């Protein structure tokens, strides 16, 4: 089952009608190395994938890239339609593909740049995992080369934005398939058959996606499924799921031993237990793998505090790890004001005498290989992020808890207010700002 959202993976700018350019972009739809080919290859490979339980990370890899390719054909279709919007039918017949006007209502067709229909003969699904992955690696190689050719020959801003995006994402898929083959066979195809050396950092339309770390991210198009795809990049994929279970089990046993020892000594009425983690982990959520990002899966961690006088309840109050020191001092009867502290005591929240925490949480990050520097604020209802490049993200967490729709342009007043508050709080800025 595929969950579909009414949005594209990129913003497609408008421009003057360009029937000839639209005919060229059709190669990215119905060509041998077009998006219909990548979509249908990976889709049929996932349909006939056997051994899903034993080889789950590899199934998750192919199935997730197939889902992304569905979004790619949607983006290509929207681009071609944009390029044909406003075009005179005679101009389309004279300078472009006549079928765009005569058959498709000035819209996209399932054909290549020469007008030849896409065919199922382009699908390779042998049932052999190594063969399929090898084929997919070379399919992505041809696809990236094709996108670069379209980029170099079509000047329309919609086509340029599309190809810049697809070149970056295609590079991720190449690396993913190469990594999967290396885990299975020990062979590194990127060394044996080097990938196209496309200087994406020098292509203006690629840069926004590089800034966001999209060139390092394998998307996962579901809140709950296909979680083991991350194991393709983490080494011993067979033990990944069991390792997580073992960690949880060992913590449970460790905590039980401490609890029983304190109970035997009669100290439970004088003990407060605090359990938390230092960071979240995306595990493919929000199309990302790892931490270091401003999204909820990365910044939110469990926080459990139990002890005498502490209410048995959960709270939506905003708290941070900087609140722990004044909280511990306050619970110990030493007061929470001996700072200076960046945080605030949570004693009133924990005892049920107040439900409010801090009003906003500051988010900061210094550039790493995965994510650029950013500053941001997280309130009860909004998440605002400002990257060093100037790119802004704004999410309505009440209506959009998965942070799927960036409304920075739709809500200018909220964006301006949170930007002002972010710049005031994020001082000094990250060193490379």
Listing DSSP states for 81-93 in one string gives: HHHHTT--HHHHH
Identify whether 309 is part of a domain. Answer: no
Do 133 and 194 belong together in one domain?
yes
| 40-56 average pLDDT score | 91
Identify whether 302 is part of a domain. Answer: no
CA dist list (Å): 170 to 69, 134, 139, 370: 10, 15, 10, 17
Do 45 and 121 belong together in one domain?
yes
Do 165 and 243 belong together in one domain?
no
Tokens of 81: 């339609």
Determine the pLDDT at residue 369. Answer: 77
Confidence category of residue 237, pLDDT binned at 50, 70, 90: very low
Greatest mean pLDDT among 31-45, 191-205, 295-309, 319-333 = 31-45
> Which segment of 102-111, 323-332, 353-362 scores lowest on mean pLDDT?
353-362
Task: Summarize pLDDT for 366-393 with one digit per residue, the tens.
Answer: 988 778 899 999 999 999 999 988 999 9
Confidence category of residue 236, pLDDT binned at 50, 70, 90: very low
Task: Summarize pLDDT for 138-167 with one digit per residue, the tens.
Answer: 999 999 999 999 999 999 999 999 999 999
Identify whether 82 is part of a domain. Answer: yes
Contacts of residue 177, defined as CB under 8 A and 6 or more positions apart, other chains included, come to 61, 133, 136, 137, 140, 189
Any idea what the CATH number is for the domain that residue 140 is in? 1.20.1260.10
Confidence category of residue 231, pLDDT binned at 50, 70, 90: low
Do 204 and 248 belong together in one domain?
no
Task: Summarize pLDDT for 177-216 with one digit per residue, the tens.
Answer: 998 998 888 888 888 777 667 888 889 999 888 888 888 7
The last residue of a domain, from among 233, 252, 286: 233
End-to-end Cα, the chain, rounded Å: 43
Instruction: Give, for 209, the enclosing helix (H) or strand (E).
Output: helix 207-211
| Domain span including residue 245 | 238-264
Do 75 and 31 belong together in one domain?
yes
Contacts of residue 147, defined as CB under 8 A and 6 or more positions apart, other chains included, come to 28, 163, 166, 167, 170
Domain count, the chain: 2
Inform me whether the pLDDT recorded for 337 exceeds 60: no
Identify whether 301 is part of a domain. Answer: no
Do 216 and 252 belong together in one domain?
no
Inform me whether the pLDDT recorded for 279 exceeds 50: yes
Inform me whether the pLDDT recorded for 224 exceeds 60: yes
Identify whether 54 is part of a domain. Answer: yes
Inform me whether the pLDDT recorded for 270 exceeds 80: yes
% of residues, the chain, pLDDT over 70? 90
Do 109 and 250 belong together in one domain?
no
Identify whether 148 is part of a domain. Answer: yes
Residue 196 or 110, more confident: 110
Inform me whether the pLDDT recorded for 241 exceeds 60: no
Confidence category of residue 290, pLDDT binned at 50, 70, 90: confident
Burial class (CB in 10 A: 0-12, 13-18, 19+), 312: exposed
Do 48 and 194 belong together in one domain?
yes
Do 38 and 141 belong together in one domain?
yes
* CA–CA gap between residue 372 and residue 393 (Å, rounded): 14
| 257-278 average pLDDT score | 90
Contacts of residue 430, defined as CB under 8 A and 6 or more positions apart, other chains included, come to 364, 365, 366, 367, 373, 374, 375, 388
Greatest mean pLDDT among 105-114, 192-201, 264-273, 310-319 = 105-114
Residue 386 or 346, more confident: 386
Do 108 and 162 belong together in one domain?
yes
Determine the pLDDT at residue 238. Answer: 45
DSSP 333-351: TS-S-SS--SS---HHHHT
Do 78 and 227 belong together in one domain?
yes
Residue with tokens 């190669």: 27
Do 111 and 186 belong together in one domain?
yes
> Which segment of 133-137, 146-150, 250-254 scores lowest on mean pLDDT?
250-254
């Amino acid at each position: 089952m595929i969950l579909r959202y009414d949005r594209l993976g990129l913003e497609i700018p408008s421009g003057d009608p360009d029937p000839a350019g639209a005919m060229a972009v059709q190669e990215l739809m119905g060509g041998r190395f077009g998006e219909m080919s990548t979509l249908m290859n990976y889709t049929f490979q996932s349909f006939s994938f056997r051994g899903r339980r034993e080889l789950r990370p590899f199934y998750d890899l192919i199935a997730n890239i197939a889902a992304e390719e569905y979004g790619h054909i949607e983006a290509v279709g929207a681009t071609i339609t944009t390029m044909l919007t406003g075009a005179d039918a005679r101009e389309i017949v004279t300078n472009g593909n006549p079928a765009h006007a005569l058959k498709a209502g000035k819209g996209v067709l399932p054909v290549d740049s020469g007008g030849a229909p896409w065919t199922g003969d382009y699908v390779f699904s042998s049932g052999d995992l190594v063969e399929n992955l090898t084929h997919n690696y070379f399919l992505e190689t041809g696809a990236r080369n094709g996108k670069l050719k379209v980029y170099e020959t079509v000047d329309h801003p919609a086509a340029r934005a599309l190809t810049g995006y697809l070149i970056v994402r295609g590079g991720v898929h190449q690396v993913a398939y190469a990594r999967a083959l290396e885990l299975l066979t020990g062979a590194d195809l990127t060394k044996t058959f080097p990938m196209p050396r496309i200087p994406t950092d020098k292509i203006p339309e690629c840069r926004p996606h590089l800034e966001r770390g999209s060139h390092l991210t394998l998307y996962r198009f579901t809140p709950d499924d296909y979680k083991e795809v991350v194991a393709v990049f983490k080494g011993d994929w067979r033990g990944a799921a069991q390792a997580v279970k073992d960690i949880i089990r060992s913590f449970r046993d460790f905590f039980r031993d401490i609890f029983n020892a304190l109970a035997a000594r009669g100290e439970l009425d004088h003990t407060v237990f605090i359990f938390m983690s230092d960071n979240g982990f995306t595990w493919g959520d929000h199309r990302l793998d790892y931490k270091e990002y401003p999204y909820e899966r990365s910044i939110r961690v469990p926080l459990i505090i139990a002890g005498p006088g502490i209410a048995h309840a959960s709270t939506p109050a905003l708290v941070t790890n900087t609140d722990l020191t004044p909280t511990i001092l306050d619970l110990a009867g030493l007061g929470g004001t001996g700072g200076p502290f960046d945080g605030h005591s949570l004693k009133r929240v924990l005892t049920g005498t107040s439900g409010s925490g801090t009003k906003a949480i500051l988010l900061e990050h210094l550039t790493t290989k995965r994510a650029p520097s950013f500053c941001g604020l997280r309130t009860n209802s909004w998440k605002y992020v400002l990257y060093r490049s100037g790119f802004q993200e704004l999410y309505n967490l009440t209506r959009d808890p998965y942070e799927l729709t960036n409304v920075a342009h739709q809500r200018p007043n909220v964006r301006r207010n949170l930007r002002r508050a972010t710049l005031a709080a994020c001082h000094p800025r990250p060193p490379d700002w």
